[in-house]
């Protein structure tokens, strides 16, 4: 069964281009280690608000819904990125991530950080079976 890594982080708007360069490199390396696909997404700050995802009977005011900006801990100069990496299974993920985190291309000790890694939220997820058939 496939396995998905999901990440969310606040990124200073001034570092968006640097983040995108890092994301391209990371996607290339993670695919070398077995990932099937990688998706990185900037929040659409002018996009739909949370209440548009609810039916009229359950819709609340926008103020009553949490936001990705709040969940990411983004400040006024930050935007939010979410990403996912799809793996064929958890064993491939575990082996691939071990290789990725020790790969010399992914070591950035001498560079200024693109984002604050302590504010990264991440987790692994198991897809719900059968939804592709729905």
| Domains and their CATH numbers in the chain | 3-47+66-107+119-129 (3.30.70.100)
pTM of the shown model? 0.86
Q: Which residues contact 61 (CB under 8 A, 6 or more apart)?
A: 51
Mean pLDDT of 74-82: 96
Please report, rounded to a whole number, the percentage of residues in the chain having pLDDT higher than 90. Answer: 69
Q: Which residues contact 36 (CB under 8 A, 6 or more apart)?
A: 2, 86, 87, 88
52-67: pLDDT as tens digits: 666 777 766 666 667 8
CA gap 78, 130 in Å, rounded: 37
Mean pLDDT of 13-35: 97
CA gap 48, 67 in Å, rounded: 11
């Amino acid at each position: 069964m496939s396995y998905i890594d999901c990440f969310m982080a606040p990124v200073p708007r001034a570092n968006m281009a640097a983040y995108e360069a890092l994301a391209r490199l990371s996607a290339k390396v993670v695919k070398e280690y077995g990932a099937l696909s990688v998706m990185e997404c900037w929040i659409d700050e002018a996009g739909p608000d949370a209440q548009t995802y609810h039916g009229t009977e359950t819709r609340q005011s926008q103020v009553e819904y949490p936001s990705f900006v709040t969940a990411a801990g983004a400040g006024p100069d930050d935007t939010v990125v979410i990403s996912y990496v799809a793996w064929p299974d958890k064993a491939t993920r575990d082996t691939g991530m071990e290789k990725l985190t020790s790969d010399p291309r992914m070591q950035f000790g001498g560079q200024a950080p693109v984002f604050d890694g302590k504010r990264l939220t991440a987790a692994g997820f198991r897809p719900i079976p059968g939804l592709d058939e729905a």
